[in-house]
Amino acid sequence: MPPAAQLNTNALAVLNLLYHDMHRQHYGLSIGKALKMGNGTLYPIVDKLENWGLIKAEKEVDLGGQGRRPRWYYSITAEGITRYEEARAQLFTRCENCFTFFVFAVWDAVFSSGFFRCFLIDLFSR
């Protein structure tokens, strides 16, 4: 990954989804629906994450005569897990002020992204 590459909130939300649900197959439409992102937002993020080696994409092999185009399934890589956990740790360090963390949680509830909800689960399960 390029040394100057910064993960924005949407990229972290994609990594968050793949990190917390590793055993499920995720394709573009399912990720977009879960995160309430449109294709114009999601696919540039997915492309960058794949180029940086944080996620991998695998093309669906057997369609079973379903008459549709093959899907690309996305999963998080070991490097992606490391980078996500580093970003999560930095967020916890910056959010030691409870009010700041509360603002993030309210923002998450309003926009329903689920991003900080998983951070809350991580925080209280330690």
In the chain, where the domains are located: 9-92
> How confident is the model over 70-104, as pLDDT tens digits?
888 999 999 999 998 888 877 766 555 555 566 66
Can you tell me the mean pLDDT for 107-115? 59
* Least confident segment among 2-11, 89-98, 114-123: 114-123
> How confident is the model over 25-65, as pLDDT tens digits?
899 998 998 888 898 999 999 999 999 999 999 988 876 66
For residue 33, count CB atoms less than 10 angstroms from its CB and return exposed for 0-12, middle for 13-18, buried for 19 or more. exposed
Are 97 and 91 in contact by the 8 Å Cβ rule? The answer is no
Q: How many CA atoms lie within 13 A of 98 on its CB side?
A: 0
Beta-carbon neighbour count of residue 81 at 10 Å?
15
Beta strand 26-27 pairing with 72-76: antiparallel
Helix/strand/coil for 57: strand
Architecture of 9-92 per CATH?
Orthogonal Bundle (1.10)
Are 73 and 27 in contact by the 8 Å Cβ rule? The answer is yes
